[in-house]
């Protein structure tokens, strides 16, 4: 009993908030590309915010539910439907056994998170359930999902069961799914954009770049290329060059680091960023803007805005406070039922 | 923007909004690396609230922290607080506090199917294959950092006589444990990946095993020696590894 993968889609993997503490051993943090969407989806089904979910990208999978399951979808809008009826993002949904979740045309964003009550039950490897395909770590045997795979659900919590029974009472008996009548206030949800302004800070090698390159990075627009993946988003725009030729020793890089290889087009390192890199790091996208960045589709246009470290951290605190507010709001809703 | 510590002289720079890079210099040297590892060791023994993890590299130590944890303790200017904590730590650390380097011996079968490029390397160096093996296995190598792939060591200290360019046509799959040379570097592929290094041998030891407490066999600061073994010994050791 659990989830049966009828079609895997383009790339569906198990992800949580990532694998911390092993970067000095060369193991990437990984985890969800859009960690905020994953956290909200989990809270909506009554899970701990970091429970294992399915990360679904672009062309979604086809999933059969073998038991009544509470789900929530968050992140990209990939036109999800259950038994061919559209289902909304960002709210708890009771899916009846035998129903099939499908995805259609991507409307916005790249990555959708499917949270299930109890979480996806896969072994914890080095402190995380995240799939890191390059090294075959975590998730389901360290790989993307395939047709015929079966995933089991973790043990339900009291909150999971409360949501389930509330939706059972609310829904019609014959309905294949029942959506909760409530959803978080839009201001608590991430604001995605196809042409976002990402806030960033000059990074360690910023001053290595020519004066004009330092101007371009803040003034010009950069297009996101299709050759982008969980490891890095490739950009195209005004070429960035160093003031003078100089070598660099490999050093730490992370999600949000913007590196510039010799050819001059920047690459933003994403969730599966390698732990160390040897290209000059011109800027770093702030943590609070990473979800927005993750959801920019290939062809989307990005620009960068310079902000202070204090401001970057203030925006991060704001995001964490929204998350707390959301958690409180969900508990309040449940107690009302 | 960077903070400068006077005693000992050290540059601290923010890396994004959740990390600080400690910059110890710009050239590779065992002395600088010892200082980096001493600070890393001190951080491990006395972690500050909000410390997430740290990554030692050739001339830097990058310290990741969680600003939210610090803000919850009333430290709203998380960066300044981390810099303050690191300043105290760095001042306390004396080089003499580092633990002596651990010496790890890696058994290696040289040549044959395990090291298909041994002859090419010998030819390029103008040496016999035996001499290449003797030179490669008589050196002591320093692990500067683990990066690029899980468990992959960046080694320093190869005899420059063995320098050889990368393969013109990289291989699609190099077995884990392969010992290679690229330019003036030597290294060991920790997991099976594509790659362009010249392969001279293979070790049966698992450089990366997620099932172990320390998944990476090697850590920054270790000393490595390569010990020649026979193909028969390789097979026995490989089998023993499988039971780990």
Q: What are the start-end ranges of the H helices in chain A? A: 35-45, 158-170, 211-219, 290-294, 309-336
**Token pair belonging to A334:** 């449940």
Query: What distance in Å separates the CA atoms of residue A282 and residue A220, rounded to the nearest whole number?
Result: 14
Give me the residue from A25, A276, A287 closest to B151, CB to CB. Answer: A25
**Token pair belonging to A166:** 């509330």
For B25-49, what is the mean pLDDT? 92
In angstroms and rounded to an integer, the radius of gyration of the C-alpha atoms of chain A is 21
Model pLDDT, residue A317: 96
For B110-122, what is the mean pLDDT? 97
* 3-state percent breakdown (helix, strand, coil) of chain B, nearest 5: 30, 30, 40
Query: What distance in Å separates the CA atoms of residue B242 and residue B244, rounded to the nearest whole number?
Result: 6
User: Hey, which residues 270-289 in chain A have their CB within 8 Å of chain B?
Assistant: 274-276, 281, 284-287
Give the torsion through C-alpha atoms of A308, A311, A312, A313, to 10 deg. 130
Model pLDDT, residue B96: 53
Model pLDDT, residue A3: 97
Query: What distance in Å separates the CA atoms of residue B109 and residue B179, rounded to the nearest whole number?
Result: 9
A195 and B CB contact within 8 Å: no
For B137-161, what is the mean pLDDT? 94
User: Hey, which residues 220-249 in chain A have their CB within 8 Å of chain B?
Assistant: 249
B58 to chain A: which residues are within 8 Å by CB? Answer: 249-251
**B244 versus A37: which is more confidently predicted?**
A37
User: Hey, which residues 158-197 in chain B have their CB within 8 Å of chain A?
Assistant: 190-191, 193
For B27-51, what is the mean pLDDT? 92
A137 and B CB contact within 8 Å: yes
pLDDT band at B30 (very low <50, low <70, confident <90, very high): confident
Q: For strands A62-65 and A3-7, give the pairing.
A: antiparallel
Out of A4-8, A238-242, B95-99, B206-210, pick the least confident. B95-99
Query: What distance in Å separates the CA atoms of residue B58 and residue B78, rounded to the nearest whole number?
Result: 26
B80 and A CB contact within 8 Å: no
Cβ–Cβ < 8 Å for B12, B20: yes
Q: For strands B185-188 and B51-56, give the pairing.
A: unpaired
Q: What's the gap in Å between the CA of A138 and the closest CA on chain B?
A: 9
Query: What distance in Å separates the CA atoms of residue A65 and residue A7, rounded to the nearest whole number?
Result: 13
Model pLDDT, residue B9: 73
Contacts of A110 (CB under 8 A, 6+ apart): A33, A57, A58, A76, A294, A295, A296, A297
Tens-digit pLDDT profile for chain A (337 aa)? Answer: 899 999 999 999 999 999 999 999 999 999 999 999 999 999 999 999 999 999 999 999 999 999 999 999 999 999 999 999 999 999 999 999 999 999 999 999 999 999 999 999 999 999 999 999 999 999 999 999 999 999 999 999 999 999 999 999 998 888 999 999 999 989 889 989 889 999 999 999 999 999 999 999 999 999 999 999 999 999 999 999 999 988 888 899 999 999 999 999 999 999 999 999 989 999 999 999 999 999 999 999 999 999 999 999 999 999 999 999 999 998 888 877 5
Question: Phi, psi (5° rounding) for residue A270?
Answer: -110, -160
Model pLDDT, residue B241: 80
**Token pair belonging to A104:** 């259609």
Q: What are the start-end ranges of the H helices in B15-92? A: 30-45, 67-72, 78-92
DSSP-assigned states of every residue in A164-219: HHHHHHHS-TT-SEEE-S----GGGS----SSPEEEEEE-TTGGGB-HHHHHHHHH
B57 and A CB contact within 8 Å: yes
Quote ipTM for the complex.
Answer: 0.95
Q: What's the gap in Å between the CA of B149 and the closest CA on chain A?
A: 5
Model pLDDT, residue A90: 97
Q: What's the gap in Å between the CA of B235 and the closest CA on chain A?
A: 24
Query: What distance in Å separates the CA atoms of residue B188 and residue B149, rounded to the nearest whole number?
Result: 11
Is the Cβ pair A26, B150 closer than 8 Å? yes
Is the Cβ pair B53, A276 closer than 8 Å? no
- CA A17 to each of CA A55, B48, B135: distance values in angstroms, whole numbers, following the listed order: 11, 22, 46
A309 to chain B: which residues are within 8 Å by CB? Answer: 14, 17, 79
A254 to chain B: which residues are within 8 Å by CB? Answer: 15-16, 19, 64
Query: What distance in Å separates the CA atoms of residue A88 and residue A79, rounded to the nearest whole number?
Result: 9
């Amino acid at each position: 009993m659990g989830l049966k993968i009828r079609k895997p889609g383009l790339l569906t993997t198990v992800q949580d908030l990532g694998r911390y503490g092993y970067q000095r051993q060369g193991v990437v943090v990984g985890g969800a590309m859009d960690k905020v969407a994953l956290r909200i989806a989990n809270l909506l089904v009554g899970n701990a915010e970091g429970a294992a979910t399915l990360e679904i990208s672009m062309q979604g999978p086809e999933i059969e539910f073998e038991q009544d399951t509470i789900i929530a979808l968050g992140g990209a809008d990939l036109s999800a439907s259950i038994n061919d009826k559209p289902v909304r993002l960002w709210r708890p949904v009771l899916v009846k056994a035998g129903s099939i979740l499908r995805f259609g045309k991507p409307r916005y964003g790249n990555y959708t998170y499917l949270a299930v009550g109890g979480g996806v039950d896969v072994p914890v490897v080095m402190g995380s359930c995240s799939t890191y395909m390059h090294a075959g770590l975590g998730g389901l045997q360290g790989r993307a999902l395939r047709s015929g795979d079966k995933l089991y659900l973790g043990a339900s919590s009291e909150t999971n069961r409360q949501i389930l029974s509330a939706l059972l009472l609310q829904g019609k008996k014959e309905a294949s799914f029942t959506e909760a009548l409530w959803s978080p206030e839009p201001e608590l949800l991430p604001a995605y954009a196809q042409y976002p302004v990402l806030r960033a800070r000059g990074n360690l090698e910023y001053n290595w770049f020519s004066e004009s390159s330092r101007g371009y990075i803040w003034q010009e627009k950069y297009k996101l290329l299709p050759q982008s993946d969980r490891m890095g988003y490739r950009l195209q725009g005004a070429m960035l060059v160093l003031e003078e030729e100089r070598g660099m020793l490999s050093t730490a890089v992370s999600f949000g680091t913007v590196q510039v290889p010799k050819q001059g087009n920047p690459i933003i390192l994403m969730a599966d960023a390698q732990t160390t890199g040897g290209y000059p790091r011109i800027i770093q996208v702030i943590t609070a803007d990473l979800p927005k960045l993750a959801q920019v589709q290939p062809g989307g246009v990005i620009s960068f805005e310079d902000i202070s470290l204090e401001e970057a951290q203030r925006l991060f605190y704001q995001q964490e406070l929204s998350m707390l507010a959301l958690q409180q709001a969900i508990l309040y809703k449940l107690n009302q039922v | 923007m960077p903070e400068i510590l006077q005693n000992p002289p050290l540059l601290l720079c923010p890396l994004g909004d959740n990390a600080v890079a400690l910059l110890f210099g710009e050239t590779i040297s065992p002395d600088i690396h010892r200082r980096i590892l001493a600070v890393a060791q001190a951080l491990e023994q006395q972690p500050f609230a909000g410390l997430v993890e740290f990554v030692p590299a050739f001339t830097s130590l990058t310290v990741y922290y969680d600003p939210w944890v610090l803000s919850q303790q009333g430290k709203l200017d998380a960066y300044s607080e981390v810099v303050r904590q690191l300043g105290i730590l760095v001042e306390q650390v004396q080089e003499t506090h580092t633990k002596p380097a651990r010496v790890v011996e890696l058994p290696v079968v040289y040549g044959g199917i395990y090291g298909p490029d041994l002859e090419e390397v010998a030819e390029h160096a103008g040496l016999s294959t035996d001499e290449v093996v003797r030179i490669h296995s008589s050196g002591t190598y320093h692990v500067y950092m683990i990066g690029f792939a899980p468990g992959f060591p960046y080694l320093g200290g190869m005899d420059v006589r063995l320098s050889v360019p990368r393969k013109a046509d990289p291989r699609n799959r190099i077995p884990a444990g392969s010992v290679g040379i690229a330019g003036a570097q030597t290294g060991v592929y920790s997991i099976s990946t594509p790659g362009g290094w010249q392969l001279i041998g293979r070790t049966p030891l698992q450089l990366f095993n997620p099932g172990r407490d320390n998944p990476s066999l090697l850590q920054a600061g270790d000393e490595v020696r390569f010990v020649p073994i026979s193909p028969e010994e390789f097979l026995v050791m490989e089998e023993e590894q499988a039971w780990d």
